[in-house]
Structure 1
Amino acid sequence: MKELIVHAGMPKNGSSAIQVMFAKNRDRLLELSLDYFDIGEFESGKSGAITSGNGALISRSLLGSNHEAYYADPDKKIFSELKKKIVDSPAKIGILSSEFFTNIPEKSLVILKKFCDELGVKLKYFYYVRRQDQFLMSGYMQRVKRHGSVDFPEEFIRSTYKGVGFLNYFSFTARIEDVLGEGNVIVRNFNVGRKHAKGLAGDFIEAVIGKGDHIEFRNEVINVSPSPKEIKALILLNKFSPSYKFTDELVRNSAKYSRASVGGVHTILNPDTCKEVLDYFSDQNDLFADKYFPEGHEFDQDIAKDYVDLRDIKIEVEDVLEILGALLVKLYK
């Protein structure tokens, strides 16, 4: 093995889809001399579940004891397991994936690099990014879908956007590159990558090993964004504190009956809020695009041109039947 690629997300950038697809197609990846190690939450990914990837435990052990997701590994058993996988692998490139790698402190990144140096393996970071307002909208939808939020998007985004450190993409990436060395960070635009002829997987593999004409496996659709009417319905339903299983079922039906779309939909965010967010990050985005984005991966400049105000959406009887009908029928059966 010559390289270890840490796929660090970012969160809300298709990581679950990549992790599921890589777990399900590990043998085919090995034919390309890519090894998605069967450790961490590999089996969950192979079953098609939303996971934190095969690098979940490694990354969590590097978070620091104050982090809520920290995983204590005093005997370094996880690193011993990873070392064995690297040494025994027939592949030239290893892949370790978890969004938690986005959150590890710099001193932990130094530890990870030292681990790779001692094995004679070059460490590289890989992640997707999306325009900050789109990232925040995806986070908002997750709060509505799974965490019972009854806020409208402007309230959530205006209260959070300045506090998410990695959204300063240039500074964040420059700090990683300071540790790993020039050219050892690969960054792609999520919205460009998912439009690749072979989806995010094709874009990922192409970025790592070059042209991927021989990629045959299909991309998995793991997470979807509800329609504006469904988001409004969920906001109303969240007043009754439903379980996440209830709202997950609504979203699954949304995908099943073609009401939902893959990827973030942020037309429900007020254009003034979009502009406020993008103005705040404009200097970072300009520097980032100049140094780290490959050609054709720059952020688009459209701001919510088809804006729909959730407050103005009316839920009619037909909408109730369309949104809740499949769930009610299933519960009855």
Structure 2
Amino acid sequence: MNKKYEVKGRYKVMNVQELIFHAGIPKTGTTAIQDFLYCNKDKLLRDYGILYPNTYGYNNHFIYAVAISKPNYYSPNPLEKLGIGFEELAFKLKEEIQELKPDKVLLSSEDFMWHIHGLSKIVEVIKPIIVKVVVYLRRQDNAINSGYNELVKSDGIPVFLKSFLYTLYISLNYYEFLKNIKNSLRFDDSISISIIPRIYYRDFDKSWDAVEDFCDVLSIPKSVFTEHKNEINVSLSPTSTEALKRIKEKYLLPPGIFKKVVSFLYEYERENPSKIKTLMPLEERKKILGHYRESNEKLFREYFDRENQFVLSKEEEELYREQEKMQKKEIEAEIEKKYKAIIDFIVKNSLVNSLTPRVTIYTHQKYGMSELTREFIKHGLITDWIGGHVDVCNEEGIAGWLLDLEDKDAYFMVKLNGTPVYIGKPNLERKDVKENFGVDVNAGFKISWKDAKLPEDILNLPDDTELEVEVIHERTGYIIPGNYKRLSKRALLEKIIPQKDELKI
């Protein structure tokens, strides 16, 4: 550690009474809460002794979540751009606390939910008397629906998932999630730990205000603060989301152009409101809530002393059944109309040159790869998933795994510079895959380049050529993600006996 940033020195005692973490989850009014806290940070400190620390250019403490994450979790790592690491961040936080002398410190980031086990690092820096973790919980079907829409709308996340169930998320077993938070924050009796779950009620009561609810948690009156917007990060309608997903899957758009397209869709919706409120099937909602029923019952019984509230009401079921009576042709027509409206917008605004056709799609961009994905596969909610990973790619060979739930005999293809050089099937046992996904399938593969057959167009390349490697799921043409690197043709030739221009099957 750089001694300049030694955190144990003269700032050892800071007398912080409470350290409060606000840890999401996403799409529960987090942006509105963070905007409120950021805009009112001076008054919060002056009148209530609550410090909302330096956010380093954000309106939240994403940087702290990055600092406590595992190596290489974020790529690119925004800490590198700032030129600081955890030690420097901790030092600066201590300086800020020492100078301003708050009673309480409040850190807010949805990304904390992904790095619960790292929160203790921040606790150890500040050494408060009380630690509170505030988490907003949303009924799981609505959380998945909203998360899916947000992923489509996000220009920084290049996914266009097949359906709602493939949404990238942690497990939505909230009972276990809260238990994990508590278990990760075990200290001696000098620090008291309090887990504070709150329910996101806006799905059922449009007058419910996340900021007002959060102010109740802090025991402060919202009315004395600067006005705020109740809903900041509003979702697009379901048909606009699907139209945008088709654009995203078909074209690579620069972030600035993508944001213009999203803004156009919001304006289009104001002028042409949709009657379609959801495209998530009722039966899918029932499966999700059925999957979490037992854990939800424990959650509400132990934390709220009431019956499970995360259930479908009769009114909701009637609404969703009415929605499902709409003809698929009518829904498809609305999606196609919006898709064409986006193209028209691009043409009229001379943005055609920004439309770069997408030529490669990875399995995780369509099928997802998250803790929630694995959980749903393991418990039978997802039955048509395709995924895998290339673990090794070097001059000796290539190895990894591929799982196709619909086709246990799926082929994969290895390409060099876009040319097929090998086709085969996974045939090696991978105990980790069997355990993670609850399947009894040999999903592993390991190929020596000696087994590949290089065609003439590869053999005729200069020896100093670097070859791009891809492993393809043969049936769909999607690329398996992984640890790829470009390989030297000369190094490969040392491993391969040139053979006839044909595929080994």
TM-score of the superposed pair, with normalisation by structure 2:
0.53
Give CA deviations for 1:19-55 in whole Å, capped at 9, x if unaligned. Answer: 22322222233344154534234x343xxxxxxx2x2
Residue 177 and residue 124 in structure 1: after superposition, are their counterparts in 2 closer, same or farther (change >3 A)? same
Give CA deviations for 1:91-129 in whole Å, capped at 9, x if unaligned. Answer: 4322111122112253x3333333332xx4422111211
Q: What is the CA–CA distance in structure 2 between the aligned matches of 1:4 and 1:324, rounded to whole Å?
A: 49
Residue 183 and residue 74 in structure 1: after superposition, are their counterparts in 2 closer, same or farther (change >3 A)? closer
Residue 296 and residue 283 in structure 1: after superposition, are their counterparts in 2 closer, same or farther (change >3 A)? closer
Q: What corresponds to 1:143 in structure 2? A: 151
Q: What corresponds to 1:288 in structure 2? A: 299
Q: Which has the higher contact order (CA 8 A, sep 6+)?
A: 1
TM-superposed CA distance for 1:323, in Å, is 5.9
Q: 2:54 aligns with which of 11, 15, 39?
A: 39
TM-superposed CA distance for 1:221, in Å, is 4.1
Q: What corresponds to 1:130 in structure 2? A: 138
Q: What is the CA–CA distance in structure 2 between the aligned matches of 1:189 and 1:289, rounded to whole Å?
A: 10
Q: What is the CA–CA distance in structure 2 between the aligned matches of 1:224 and 1:198, rounded to whole Å?
A: 15
Q: 1:167 aligns with which of 172, 180, 184?
A: 172
Residue 38 and residue 273 in structure 1: after superposition, are their counterparts in 2 closer, same or farther (change >3 A)? same
The DSSP-based 3-state class of the residue aligned with 2:280 is coil
Q: What corresponds to 2:66 in structure 1? A: 60
Q: What is the CA–CA distance in structure 1 between the aligned matches of 2:246 and 2:198, rounded to whole Å?
A: 36
Q: Does 1:235 align with 2:253?
A: no
5 Å-filtered alignment, 1:174-189, equals 174-178=179-183, 179=185, 184-189=194-199
Residue 256 and residue 89 in structure 1: after superposition, are their counterparts in 2 closer, same or farther (change >3 A)? farther
Q: What is the CA–CA distance in structure 1 between the aligned matches of 2:345 and 2:171, rounded to whole Å?
A: 39
Q: What corresponds to 1:115 in structure 2? A: 125
5 Å-filtered alignment, 1:85-104, equals 85-104=96-115
TM-superposed CA distance for 1:256, in Å, is 4.3
Q: Which amino acid aligns with 1:40?
A: T
Residues 12 and 135 of structure 1 are in contact (CA less than 8 Å); yes or no, is this contact kept in structure 2? yes
Residue 139 and residue 197 in structure 1: after superposition, are their counterparts in 2 closer, same or farther (change >3 A)? closer
Q: What corresponds to 2:409 in structure 1? A: none
Give CA deviations for 1:187-219 in whole Å, capped at 9, x if unaligned. Answer: 212234995868322211111215544344222
Q: What is the CA–CA distance in structure 2 between the aligned matches of 1:36 and 1:326, rounded to whole Å?
A: 45
Q: What is the CA–CA distance in structure 1 between the aligned matches of 2:208 and 2:283, rounded to whole Å?
A: 35
Residues 19 and 97 of structure 1 are in contact (CA less than 8 Å); yes or no, is this contact kept in structure 2? yes
The DSSP-based 3-state class of the residue aligned with 1:9 is coil
Q: What corresponds to 2:229 in structure 1? A: 219
Q: What corresponds to 1:50 in structure 2? A: none
Residues 66 and 74 of structure 2 are in contact (CA less than 8 Å); yes or no, is this contact kept in structure 1? no
How many residues end up aligned between the 2 structures? 311
Residue 105 and residue 65 in structure 1: after superposition, are their counterparts in 2 closer, same or farther (change >3 A)? farther
Q: Which amino acid aligns with 1:199?
A: D
Q: Does 1:14 align with 2:29?
A: yes
TM-superposed CA distance for 1:268, in Å, is 1.2
Q: Which amino acid aligns with 1:6?
A: F
The DSSP-based 3-state class of the residue aligned with 2:107 is strand
Residue 91 and residue 75 in structure 1: after superposition, are their counterparts in 2 closer, same or farther (change >3 A)? closer
Q: What is the CA–CA distance in structure 2 between the aligned matches of 1:297 and 1:257, rounded to whole Å?
A: 39
Residue 101 and residue 153 in structure 1: after superposition, are their counterparts in 2 closer, same or farther (change >3 A)? same
Deviates more, 1:215-224 or 1:280-289: 215-224
Q: What corresponds to 2:332 in structure 1? A: 314
Q: What is the CA–CA distance in structure 2 between the aligned matches of 1:193 and 1:211, rounded to whole Å?
A: 24
TM-superposed CA distance for 1:286, in Å, is 1.0
TM-score of the superposed pair, with normalisation by structure 1:
0.77
TM-superposed CA distance for 1:58, in Å, is 1.9
Q: What corresponds to 1:24 in structure 2? A: 39
Deviates more, 1:56-65 or 1:12-21: 12-21
Q: What is the CA–CA distance in structure 1 between the aligned matches of 2:294 and 2:345, rounded to whole Å?
A: 47
Q: Which amino acid aligns with 1:142?
A: E
From the two aligned structures, give the one with the greater strand fraction.
2
Q: Which amino acid aligns with 2:130?
A: K
Q: What is the CA–CA distance in structure 1 between the aligned matches of 2:260 and 2:43, rounded to whole Å?
A: 32
Cα RMSD of the aligned pairs, angstroms, is 3.7
Q: What is the CA–CA distance in structure 1 between the aligned matches of 2:173 and 2:302, rounded to whole Å?
A: 14
Q: What is the CA–CA distance in structure 1 between the aligned matches of 2:163 and 2:200, rounded to whole Å?
A: 21
Residues 289 and 311 of structure 2 are in contact (CA less than 8 Å); yes or no, is this contact kept in structure 1? no
Q: Which amino acid aligns with 1:33?
A: Y
Q: What is the CA–CA distance in structure 2 between the aligned matches of 1:224 and 1:217, rounded to whole Å?
A: 18
TM-superposed CA distance for 1:184, in Å, is 0.9
